[in-house]
Amino acid sequence: MYLVKSKQDIDRAQEIFIEAFNDSEGINWVLKRRTKKSKELTVKVLLHEGIDKNGAYLSEDRNGAVLFYDSNNKGSSINNIIRKAHLVLRFSGIQNTLKLISYRKLIDATRPKNSMVGFLVATDRKIKTNNAIYEIHNEMLAIAKKQGKQIVLETSKPRVRRLYSFAGYEQYAEVKHPFSDLTIWFFIK
């Protein structure tokens, strides 16, 4: 697994994330207008947030991607601030953005401090035998161990909840989403 840096890496990670999270209510609830462009811009904002925090990774075979960074890292870039403003003004609206800020405060209050956050873990769905997820899992464990921190993950998908449990993560919280008909499960390892 390696850090996403080049244009080709950014494009590939974005392709994987868009395919995996295109219809994810856990991400798209904040969008007032759910167009293809708005969903792609949402993923682009999240990906570049990971890049700004030195935590956007691709698997060696380029078939898996993850955002994985220190929870204390507040890195940001002017370009991504502009992307976020565009997303707010064109697709989310001020009211939904205020809901998002409230939601992020809830997530931050539930996550343990001083941990490594795994976000948008995804693999290319077109690959039948995809070893990328195992590589991502093992590399996340190695990075967290090197940093001396625990890994925290969240999901609102029951299937992913089972996968995280199967992978040895312990559920430490369950929260009703305040603005959507979802449950958010929090895991730690």
Q: Where are the alpha helices (DSSP H) in 22-167?
A: 25-28, 36-52, 78-87, 94-110, 132-147, 158-166
Q: What is the mean pLDDT of each run of 10 residues along the chain (189 residues)?
A: 95 93 83 85 89 94 94 83 81 85 90 91 80 91 95 92 92 93 94
Per the CB < 8 A criterion, the answer to whether 150 and 168 are in contact is no
At residue 70, φ and ψ (nearest 5 deg) are: -65, 130
Q: Domains of the chain: which residue ranges?
A: 2-188
Q: What is the pLDDT at residue 131?
A: 87
Does domain 2-188 fall under CATH 3.40.630.30? My reply is yes
Residues 50, 119 contacting (CB under 8 angstroms): yes
